[in-house]
């Protein structure tokens, strides 16, 4: 599968997706650590892709997203932004409702289809 196709599939299949360096439990950079901490404090599960384990995605995603840096938070197929934006939204109380509403929406859809 082409890298861009893989990225599109990941974004489509995961309503809340963080592209980061490392994992939420073992982040490999301060920005990824701060972003994943803010997301974890929202209390909903989210998917992540460790770009250090996926050099093809690390190389291709910035051009696809038109966003040069990592981490990158995607919610429902939309790029929300990087660490600064995630933290600013969290501090303003905007991240929590976005994450919880998105999680609730997709929980309902998943439960209905079972």
Binding site residues for [2Fe-2S] cluster, as ranges?
29
Question: Could you tell me whether strands 16-20 and 72-75 are parallel, antiparallel, or unpaired per DSSP bridges?
Answer: antiparallel
Which of 112, 28, 31, 15 has the alpha carbon at shortest distance from 71? Answer: 31
Question: Could you tell me whether strands 78-81 and 16-20 are parallel, antiparallel, or unpaired per DSSP bridges?
Answer: unpaired
The binding site consists of: 21, 29, 58, 70, 83-84
The binding site for glutathione consists of: 21, 58, 70, 83-84
H-run or E-run covering 88: helix 83-92
């Amino acid at each position: 599968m082409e890298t861009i196709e893989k990225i599109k599939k990941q974004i489509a299949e995961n309503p809340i997706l963080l592209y980061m360096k490392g994992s939420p439990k073992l982040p490999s950079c301060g920005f990824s650590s701060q972003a994943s901490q803010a997301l974890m404090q929202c209390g909903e599960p989210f998917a992540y892709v460790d770009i250090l384990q996926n050099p093809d995605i690390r190389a291709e995603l910035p051009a696809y997203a038109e966003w040069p840096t990592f981490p990158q938070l995607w919610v429902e197929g939309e790029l929300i932004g990087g660490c600064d934006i995630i933290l600013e939204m969290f501090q303003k109380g905007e991240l929590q409702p976005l994450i919880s509403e998105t999680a609730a929406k997709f929980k309902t859809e998943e439960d209905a289809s079972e």
